[in-house]
Homo-oligomer: A and B are copies of this chain.
Amino acid sequence: MRVINFNAGPAALPLPVLERTRDELLDFRGTGMSILEMSHRGADFESVLGDAVVRLRRLLQLPGTHEVLFMQGGASLQFALVPLNFLPAGAGADYVVTGAWGEKALKEAQAVGRARAALNCKQDGAFRRVPGPGELQLDPAAAYVHLTSNETIDGVQFHDFPPAGGVPAVCDMSSDFLWRPVDLSPFSLVYAGAQKNVGPSGLVVVVARKEFLARGRKDLPAILRYGTHAEAGSLYNTPNTFGIYLVRHVLEWLEGEGGLSAMEARNRAKAAAVYGAVDGSGGFYRCPVETASRSVMNPVFRTPSEALDAAFVQGAKAAGMVGLKGHRAVGGIRASLYNAVSLEDARALAGFMEAFARQHG
C-alpha cells in the first residue's frame, strides 16, 4: 500500500514513473541491460539525455538564448559555483534573502567574494514574506542578484519576480521548478535540485543564458566552470545517468498531464485546499507567512501547541499521510505539495486537518 507522501525532498514521484522505471530496470528498451549499467557516451543514454532536454525546453518554451544543463552536487554546490564563476574580484553580488536557503546561498558567496544581503526579510528570527514591489534597492553595478523563488523551510514564495533593473538575475528554483508556466528568459541563471519537483536527489537542473555562461571565470578547475558543462552538453564527466533518466520520465508525465498550465491549476487547487483548512479552522491552525507570500509548494502551519503539532504528525501518519513534520530548524507542520502530489492527496490532508481541529479545538 502506497502512503500519501508530503515529504519536502526527496519527495513523492508520479506512480506511473516509478512503475515504468521498475518494469524496465533490468532491461532498458531491449538493450539487455539496465539504464544503470549503460555508458553515458552510448547512443541509448544520449537519446535519453537529449529527450530530457527537448521535453524540458518544450515545457518551458525556452528560447534558444538559454542552455539546459544537468549537473551534480545539489543546489548547495550551486551556492558556491555561482559566485566562483560570476563574482569577480572587486565586484559585488546582491542577495535577496527570504528564507533559510537564501541565507545559506549568501554565506557561501561570502566565502568567495563580496556579497551582501540587498534585503533580508528575517524579522524576529523568522521569515514571513517576500519583498513588495519597489522595496528592493539593488546595486546597479552588482555582478548579479540572487533570489530564492520558494523557501521550502519557511513556506515563503515569490509569486511575481521583482525587476532586477538590468542586473543579471540568478534564481534558486529548487522547490518550485516547473510548478507553473514561467518565462525563464529574463533570468541569467536558474538552478533547481531535482529531488523536489522533478526527480531524484543527486541531480541539479540548470537553465542559463548562453551569453552569461560565456562570461564566467576561466581560471577555475574545469569541473567548476559552467562553461565546461555547457560545451560538453552535460557530458564533461559521467553525469547522474539514472537521475537524468528519471527526470525524462517525469517530464513526459508532466506533458501527459497537460503541461505546466494544468500543473498550475492543480497546484493552486491543492494549496487552496490546505490553506482553506488553515483559514477555516477558526484560528486552530495558524500559518506564520503573510498571505500574499504563502508558498503554493510548501504550506507551513501550526496548531495551538508543539504537543498538538506532534500529535497531528503522528495522527496523520496513522491515517496514511507521511512527511508532515516541519523542518527541524523551525518546527511546526509542513505539507509539501509538489507536482506528484495529487489534488485528492491534498484534499485528504485538508479533511484530516478539519477532523483533527474538531477533535482538539
Contact = CB atoms under 8 A, between A and B. Distances in A.
Interface of A: 1-3, 5, 7-13, 15, 18-19, 21-22, 25-27, 31-34, 36-41, 72-77, 79-80, 83-84, 107-108, 111-112, 193, 195, 200-203, 219-224, 236-243, 246, 320, 322-323, 328
A198 to B, nearest CB: 12
A202 B241 contact: yes
Contact of A242 (B37, B193, B242, B322): B242
Given A21-B25, A239-B201, A322-B32, A111 B2 contact: no
A168 to B, nearest CB: 20
Contacts of A241: 10, 195, 200-202
A242 B200 contact: yes
A102 to B, nearest CB: 15
Contacts of A3: 31-33
24 contacts: A1-B27, A2-B33, A10-B38, A10-B241, A11-B37, A13-B36, A36-B246, A39-B323, A72-B74, A73-B77, A74-B237, A74-B238, A75-B237, A76-B238, A79-B223, A80-B223, A107-B222, A111-B220, A201-B242, A202-B240, A202-B242, A240-B240, A240-B243, A242-B243
